[in-house]
Amino acid sequence: MNDLYIGVDIGSVSINIVGLDDSKDMQFKLYKRNPGSPVEVVKEGLASLNKKLKDRFKIAGVGVTGSGRQLIGYILGADIVKNEITAHATATIEQVPDVRTIFEIGGQDSKLIVINNEIVTDFAMNTVCAAGTGSFLDHQAERLGVEIEEFGDLALQATKDVRIAGRCTVFAESDMISKQQYGFTKPEIINGLCEALVRNYFNNLVRGKELHPRFVFQGGVAANAGIKAAIEKEINDEVIIPDNHDVMGAIGIALLAQEEMREKDEPSSFKGFSITHDNFETSSFICEDCANECEVIRIQANGKTIAMTGDRCGKWASDPRDIDVKDETSA
Amino acid sequence: MKIGIPRSLLFFYYYPFWEELFKELGIKVVVSDQNNERIMNKGVKYSISEICVPMKVYVGQVLDLVEQGVDLVYVPRIVSIQKDVTICPKFLGLPDMIKYSLEGMENRVLTHKIEQESDDISNWKDYQIFLEIFDISKKELKRALKKASEKWQEYRAMHRKGFTSDQLLEDVKRTPDTGDLTIGVLGYVYNVYDKFVNMDLLGKLREMNVNIVTFEMIDDEVIQREVDQFAPRKKMFWEFSNKLLGAGYHFLKSDEIDGVIHVTAFGCGPDSILGPFLDIDSDKYDTPFMTLRIDEQTGESHLLTRVEAFVDLLRLQKTKEARKCEK
Ligand code: SF4
Ligand code: SF4
């Protein structure tokens, strides 16, 4: 039996799971967009991983990253739970050791990571403004009646430049409509949108920072050739799109799990595949013990409370328990 | 008579002074509750939307005191604590904002101008209205101010020994610094110590085994030297921004500080100028610098991710440097 390291990335628009073997080769990959319940997606994902690999591999380590990392980490019994900046950078450095700049544009957030000598030295994140993320494109693609997958290639067919005011999705929309009325073609408009997104990204995150090659572009939006071209135009240099650019977070956290286990010299704390049969339920209640009135989220496995979060004081998270609450809302 | 003091703005810098002053004058002081969801919501509801977050918190805190039934809320008009330098203009208009934008507050505010030449705000000339309001003699007032000044000096001396204000004002455990990392947390006291708005940043850092240094711990001369170097002929900023500027450059240059987190409130004018200077110069001194912008709806997971990633970055750099030295 060989060792397998599982990496799970719980993002807001996609959930990704990968399995890496000892020599860091990918044995399993799952990219799931717009997942409903993270817990269910993870359960299904792990079940299919198990089915595919159980004869050859045993689980040697599990890592969880992404904005929903705490709860899933708890449910899985993860060996390591880390933020997505560290995870993403780890994966990129593994593939492109001399990377200095990572542009990462995902469906709902975007990041800039600056690296020197294989170490993160600076980063910026945007989770507030949609105009610098993939959801900007999704939205406009829908308006134009173009499939998001075709979006990028269409942009490359543009023969003229048209500037779309894209500071904000709302402005972009009205500007786009008027440019259409002036008679610009669809590819030109789309190209203008790609450039607007990149401009937003640079305004929000780069903000005049000096960037050095090599440049890597990753995240869900990296598949879009129009955006790649717009970035290259902006920096006047070439960008590399790494293999598996859409699951870099999961790869990174799997690598970190591997490193962790090497140092720890203990078996993995993974709770095992039996969790794929457990019944998890998420609910929330308002704690009225103080004026903060936190919405406390709790996770139950087969009717028993196993984790709680969302409390500002930590009194629930540190001691999850079954309680009776009246104004409970099932989530 | 019960006087209310809002737990906000310069409370975190001057509370020991005010507490002692009123105690000496025999007046009962009530401090508003720690900032929380309810207070914040009230503050947001009754302030103009464009104003910076700390001012909104202050409004909420004032309303909380009124609910607690105080007779007067103490809202001094702090104009300056340095010769020829005022503090952020928002403070200058604060008593008026409270009096005239909140219903029923016009006659419930105790205010007077503080316009002094040093951080020690005990010069009696600014407190003359106390003579009549509290029916005390000049001698009594001067004695109380002297006591207040002594208390406050003690408080400042504790800062210089390495204690943060939350450790001194609240019962935050005072453990010796045992962390393997030291971060300069740069920000106005009301942003650094408002646990509610900043999602308990200091607590999170301490949990990650990080030592914390704040501007209050740095000697005035060191701060002044940096400020003078930055702009030899010009006074750049308002007073507390100057303190942050001086402390910030000191942090960037100091070997004892591994990284700097600038905590800034959404809507803060002075910080939008101060922040970029430090950020751009941080490269020169090879000290990582991160801006943490907080507002009334900061998401906890977002903040935690950034803080965690920053701490990871500093730790990795440190181990790498250590390895280099071993070779
Ligand atoms: S969870 Fe804690 S902070 Fe939140 S309302 Fe209850 S007691 Fe207050
Ligand atoms: S310095 Fe900034 S945060 Fe403080 S009162 Fe002025 S604008 Fe508000």
Contacts (Cβ under 8 Å, ≥6 apart) of A195: A161, A163, A164, A166, A230, A233
A3 φ/ψ angles, rounded to the nearest 5 degrees = -80, 145
- What's the pLDDT score for residue A330? 45
Nearest by CB to B302, which of A127, A290, A312? Answer: A127
Nearest CA to ligand 2 atom 3: B268
Which of B124, B159, B194 is at the close of a domain?
B159
Whole-angstrom CA distances from B324 to A10, A62, B180, B222, B327 are 36, 31, 18, 32, 5
Say yes or no for a CB contact (<8 Å) between B309 and A293: no
Query: Predicted confidence band at A168 (pLDDT cuts at 50, 70, 90)?
Result: low
Query: Predicted confidence band at A104 (pLDDT cuts at 50, 70, 90)?
Result: very high
Whole-angstrom CA distances from B126 to A262, B76, B141, B307 are 66, 10, 11, 42
Q: What is the pLDDT of residues B187-224, one digit of tens each?
A: 999 999 999 999 999 999 999 999 999 999 999 999 99
Contacts (Cβ under 8 Å, ≥6 apart) of B66: B4, B73, B104, B105, B108
Residue with token string 């591999």: A57
- What's the pLDDT score for residue A245? 92
Q: What is the mean pLDDT of residues B114-131?
A: 94
Domain span at B230: 163-326
Q: Which amino acid, residue A56?
A: R
State how far the Cα of A225 lies from the Cα of A109, in Å rounded to an integer. 19
Q: What is the pLDDT of residues B104-122, one digit of tens each?
A: 899 999 999 999 999 999 9
Indicate whether residue B54 lines ligand 2 (CB < 6 A): yes
Task: Specify whether the CB–CB gap between B144 and B25 falls below 8 A.
Answer: yes
- What's the pLDDT score for residue B172? 67
Asked whether the CA dihedral B70, B72, B78, B81 is positive or negative, the reply is negative
Question: Exposed, middle or buried by CB within 10 Å (0-12, 13-18, 19+), for A303?
Answer: exposed
Q: Which amino acid, residue A113?
A: I
Indicate whether residue B187 lines ligand 2 (CB < 6 A): no
CA of B53 to the centre of ligand 2 (A): 8
- What's the pLDDT score for residue A294? 86
Say yes or no for a CB contact (<8 Å) between B313 and A120: yes
Q: What is the pLDDT of residues A73-84, one digit of tens each?
A: 988 999 999 999
Contacts (Cβ under 8 Å, ≥6 apart) of A319: none
- What's the pLDDT score for residue A228? 93
Nearest-CA distance B203 → chain A (Å) = 11
User: How do beta strands A215-218 and A119-126 pair?
Assistant: unpaired
Percent of chain B with pLDDT over 70: 96
- B268: domain CATH number? 3.40.50.11900
Radius of gyration of the CA atoms of chain A, in A: 22
- B74 has pLDDT over 80: yes
Task: Specify whether the CB–CB gap between B66 and B108 falls below 8 A.
Answer: yes
What's the mean per-residue pLDDT of chain A?
86
- What's the pLDDT score for residue A261? 93
The total of structural domains in chain B comes to: 2
State how far the Cα of B52 lies from the Cα of A315, in Å rounded to an integer. 31
Judgement on whether residues B267 and B248 belong to the same structural domain of the protein: yes
Residue with token string 């406009």: A140
Q: What is the mean pLDDT of residues B295-316?
A: 83
Task: Specify whether the CB–CB gap between B161 and B2 falls below 8 A.
Answer: no
By residue count, chain B amounts to: 327
Judgement on whether residues B141 and B44 belong to the same structural domain of the protein: yes
Q: What is the pLDDT of residues A36-51, one digit of tens each?
A: 788 889 999 999 999 9
Radius of gyration of the CA atoms of chain B, in A: 20
Lowest mean pLDDT among A24-33, A123-132, A212-221: A123-132
Nearest to B109 by CA among B71, B64, B59: B71
- B23: domain CATH number? 3.40.50
What's the mean per-residue pLDDT of chain B?
91
Nearest to B238 by CA among B121, B90, B113, B94: B90
Q: H or E element: which one contains B295? A: none
Judgement on whether residues B152 and B204 belong to the same structural domain of the protein: no
Judgement on whether residues B278 and B189 belong to the same structural domain of the protein: yes
Judgement on whether residues B184 and B280 belong to the same structural domain of the protein: yes
- What's the pLDDT score for residue A101? 96
Q: Is B86 helix (H, G, I), strand (E, B) or coil?
A: coil
What is this model's ipTM?
A: 0.73
What spatial distance separates the first Cα and last Cα of chain B, rounded to whole Å?
69
Nearest by CB to B37, which of A86, A120, A293? Answer: A293
- What's the pLDDT score for residue A127? 63
Query: In A, which residues are within 8 Å of B302 by CB distance?
Result: 67, 125, 127
Query: Predicted confidence band at A327 (pLDDT cuts at 50, 70, 90)?
Result: very low
- A226 has pLDDT over 70: yes
Which of B141, B159, B177 is at the close of a domain?
B159
Say yes or no for a CB contact (<8 Å) between A86 and B33: no
- What's the pLDDT score for residue A13? 79
Contacts (Cβ under 8 Å, ≥6 apart) of A290: A313, B36
Nearest by CB to A83, which of B36, B196, B308? Answer: B308
- A297 has pLDDT over 90: no
Q: Give the CATH number of domain A2-88+249-276.
A: 3.30.420.40
State how far the Cα of A43 lies from the Cα of A272, in Å rounded to an integer. 11
Q: Is A1 helix (H, G, I), strand (E, B) or coil?
A: coil
Q: What is the pLDDT of residues A130-154, one digit of tens each?
A: 666 777 777 777 888 887 777 788 8
Task: Specify whether the CB–CB gap between B243 and B186 falls below 8 A.
Answer: no
Judgement on whether residues B174 and B153 belong to the same structural domain of the protein: no
Indicate whether residue A313 lines ligand 1 (CB < 6 A): yes
Judgement on whether residues B98 and B167 belong to the same structural domain of the protein: no
- A163 has pLDDT over 60: yes
Judgement on whether residues B105 and B119 belong to the same structural domain of the protein: yes
Q: Which amino acid, residue B72?
A: L
Q: What is the mean pLDDT of residues A273-281?
A: 88
Percent of chain A with pLDDT over 70: 94
Q: What is the mean pLDDT of residues B20-25?
A: 95
Question: Exposed, middle or buried by CB within 10 Å (0-12, 13-18, 19+), for A203?
Answer: middle
Which of B159, B182, B200 is at the close of a domain?
B159
Question: Exposed, middle or buried by CB within 10 Å (0-12, 13-18, 19+), for B175?
Answer: exposed
Contacts (Cβ under 8 Å, ≥6 apart) of B7: B31, B32, B33, B34, B35, B61
Judgement on whether residues B147 and B176 belong to the same structural domain of the protein: no
- What's the pLDDT score for residue B299? 67
In sequence order, what DSSP letters do the residues of A7-51 get, joined into one string? EEEE-SSEEEEEEEETT--EEEEEEEES-S-HHHHHHHHHHHHHH
- B54 has pLDDT over 50: yes
Q: What is the mean pLDDT of residues B237-262?
A: 93
Asked whether the CA dihedral B224, B123, B10, B166 is positive or negative, the reply is positive
Residue with more model confidence, B318 or B225:
B225
Nearest to B68 by CA among B102, B31, B100, B95: B31
**Residues on chain A bordering chain B, Cβ-to-Cβ distance under 8 angstroms:** 67, 70, 82-86, 117, 119-123, 125, 127, 210, 290-294, 312
Asked whether the CA dihedral A222, A83, B187, B74 is positive or negative, the reply is positive
Query: Predicted confidence band at A331 (pLDDT cuts at 50, 70, 90)?
Result: very low
- What's the pLDDT score for residue A128? 63
Asked whether the domain spanning A97-241 has the same topology as the one spanning A2-88+249-276, the reply is yes
- A71 has pLDDT over 90: no
Tell me which DSSP letter residue B127 carries: G
Nearest CA to ligand 1 atom 1: A311
Judgement on whether residues B188 and B296 belong to the same structural domain of the protein: yes
- What's the pLDDT score for residue A110? 87
- What's the pLDDT score for residue A96? 95
Indicate whether residue A100 lines ligand 1 (CB < 6 A): no
Task: Specify whether the CB–CB gap between B136 and B21 falls below 8 A.
Answer: no
Whole-angstrom CA distances from A80 to A61, A62, A74, B193 are 8, 7, 10, 30
- What's the pLDDT score for residue A129? 65
Percent of chain A with pLDDT over 90: 39
Q: Taking the domains of chain A in order of start, what are their residue ranges?
A: 2-88+249-276, 97-241, 279-330
- A329 has pLDDT over 60: no
- A155 has pLDDT over 70: yes
Judgement on whether residues B128 and B216 belong to the same structural domain of the protein: no
Q: Give the CATH number of domain A97-241.
A: 3.30.420.40
Judgement on whether residues B88 and B116 belong to the same structural domain of the protein: yes
Say yes or no for a CB contact (<8 Å) between B309 and A291: no
- What's the pLDDT score for residue B190? 96
- B2 has pLDDT over 90: yes
Task: Specify whether the CB–CB gap between A148 and A137 falls below 8 A.
Answer: yes
- A171 has pLDDT over 80: no
Q: What is the pLDDT of residues B28-39, one digit of tens each?
A: 999 999 999 899
- What's the pLDDT score for residue B327? 61
